[in-house]
A and B are shown apart, each in its own frame.
Chain A
Amino acid sequence: EVQVVETGGGLVQPGGSLRLSCEASGFTFSTFWMHWVRQAPGKGLVWLSRISGGGSTTSYADSVRGRFTISRDNAKNTVYLQMNSLGVEDTALYYCATEGRGAPIDSWGQGTLVTVSS
């Protein structure tokens, strides 16, 4: 069974940084693309970033390019999202999701909450 667990959320001041982690299991981690998606309170889903199975290819939404960095450690079955220069607009539940069953975004974790506030 595919499992995805995000950690690392919390309260951070505007301008601060935070690193989210996402540990996955139940599939051959190193062969699948991984994504980060966020959802502000009461709002819709927003795609943020993805990384290839080997980690050599990454892409970002315009809203986070240059501030967020996605990476992965296949030895630990973990993908990361380094978030810098955070603003109040970055307050959201951050989901990690994996490619699978033919779909680019298949299985999702339960999310980790990031609150940016002074």
Chain B
Amino acid sequence: QSALTQPASVSGSPGQSITISCTGTSSDVGSYNLVSWYQQHPGEAPKLLIYEGSKRPSGVSTRFSGSKSGNTASLTISGLQAEDEADYYCCSFAGSSSYVFGTGTKVTVL
């Protein structure tokens, strides 16, 4: 149950698009279309952004989108805004009824 690998930090200017990768293995990300993405602002609980790889819950901005290719899932934030500055985590089902989170990515809006 090793953590999924995410870049430690990603930055972009307002209005730009950024992509956060989440690399796992054929035992987790690669085997299931069950990757979720969460946003966490400092001092707050995580918030669900994406589930089942690319589905957005109601209330989540369409600027957030998810995808997957092989053992790597990705979260794209379009039209970057100051309020998007936060930590982002991916999470995948890992078989045997277990889950694994990514290492987390700090997004900075320049």
Contact = CB atoms under 8 A, between A and B. Distances in A.
Nearest to A46: B101
B96 interface: yes
Given A59-B96, A103-B57, A108-B45, A44 B36 contact: no
B98 interface: yes
Interface residues on B, range: 20 to 34
- Chain A interface SS verdict (over half): strand
Interface of A: 35, 37, 44-47, 50, 57, 59-63, 95, 101-111
Interface of B: 1, 3, 34, 36, 38, 40, 45-48, 51-52, 55, 57-58, 89, 91, 93, 96-104
Given A61-B1, A111-B45, A102 B99 contact: no
Contact of A101 (B58, B103, B104): B58
Most buried by B among A47, A106, A111: A47
A50 B93 CA distance: 12
A61 B3 contact: no
